[in-house]
Structure 1
């Protein structure tokens, strides 16, 4: 077992999740790389973790279901006590305005982006809480600058799910601080991942990046650095924090 304990990264096979898994492993965590369909990508992340001297495992599970969340935690506990959770798995949908949104679309986004985060956090807290014999731990939620900006004419439903994550982060942090559990969030802006292609605007990082205060889109590795800091002992006095990693996008009126 890793000296730091076991960290679950949901949606850890690509983009921010993959970068986070690699970065967290470098800090001494055993990482559980959850994926839904990208087995080859998850295996590649694990190989890079192991090549750098880290430890971990991959686990296929749909965390938009309770059975999937249970499967992830069962796999994690084979490595040791779960002491960290990065709620990264999330989904967007095609850009547009609200009159194009179906009930099924919105329900899908809410189920993966919000419900899964709440239920996975529940399972983590059951294991981390001192009153249950745990030693405390840390939960990191991945939000989005869309939570502050609203994503008008893009995906206001996605933005709403991330607004829920911001509120949940603050409430959960207050609820469990006395049990040695820190809960924080990272709020990325326009990051160069395949998220944009998945929502129908593959060129968005290149097109939007130059207009941002820092003049470019961000990288998954830059977001991973913020995640790693919030998980570290250097952030021991931080809980309920939401750290913007957006190149200034989220502070522009």
Structure 2
């Protein structure tokens, strides 16, 4: 397999939900896609099968992004196809915990910060090393997946998760400034309540439906809504956009 003219896109946490939708859209746009997963091999394989059926190029790579070595593993695998020009840092967890901050076990706090914050930082560091035009790379785009939970802090539900996404916002703005001279644009997409397995895993499968009355557009988001925004930020149509945090939240 060889990369197309678009190069290679690495999508972390791409075995389901938003990550899977981004991977499918990226392949349709002409990227060769690395579908990263941590534990859901079957889900990742299903995403790759869909991409290949549609005429695209993709393969799976198992790596836990909370481990600093994972970023090296992902870039090494991707570069076997060609230059990496797009990275989407989607992998994130809530720890499958829903409740007040006072009750969140220390183990879950650490897991959430390790994946959501450290994992994103490690991937951004490797992107700077590998994609930099100053180091012989082609440049490109990094899109981090944040959350509108940052706005209100998600009290009574996911304060620990919202805090981790606040860190992603700050990382996005700071890294965008550092990466611009390297030929790398860095932005974030901030989804609102979206119909994914995240809510069911935390014990509230109907959470989006029960709260849709709070959303001005009157519905929860779909993974494809987020994927569309990500692909725009990756594209040349967004060539003058960096350091931006784009809400995809139905107006909420």
Shorter-chain TM band: over 0.9
* SS of equivalent to 1:157: helix
- 1:5 equivalent to 2:7? Answer yes
Distance 1:48 1:184 in 2: 27
Distance 1:211 1:150 in 2: 16
CA RMSD after TM alignment:
0.9
- 1:102 equivalent to 2:105? Answer yes
Residue 112 (structure 1) aligned to one of 111, 115, 123: 115
Residue 90 (structure 1) aligned to one of 92, 96, 101: 92
TM-score by length of 1: 0.96
Residue 16 (structure 1) aligned to one of 10, 15, 18: 18
- 2:43 corresponds to which residue? 41
Shift of 1:239: 0.3
Shift of 1:244: 0.4
Distance 1:224 1:13 in 2: 14
Shift of 1:211: 2.9
Shift of 1:60: 1.1
- 1:154 equivalent to 2:165? Answer no
- 2:223 corresponds to which residue? 220
- 1:180 equivalent to 2:183? Answer yes
8 Å CA contact 1:210–1:217 kept in 2: the answer is no
- 2:199 corresponds to which residue? 196
- 1:81 corresponds to which residue? 83
8 Å CA contact 2:128–2:182 kept in 1: the answer is no
* Aligned length in residues: 249
- 1:128 corresponds to which residue? 131
Listed one character per residue, the Cα deviations across residues 172-217 of structure 1 (whole Å, up to 9, x for unaligned) are 1111111210000000000000000112211101111133111010
Runs of 4+ in structure 1 off by over 3 angstroms are none
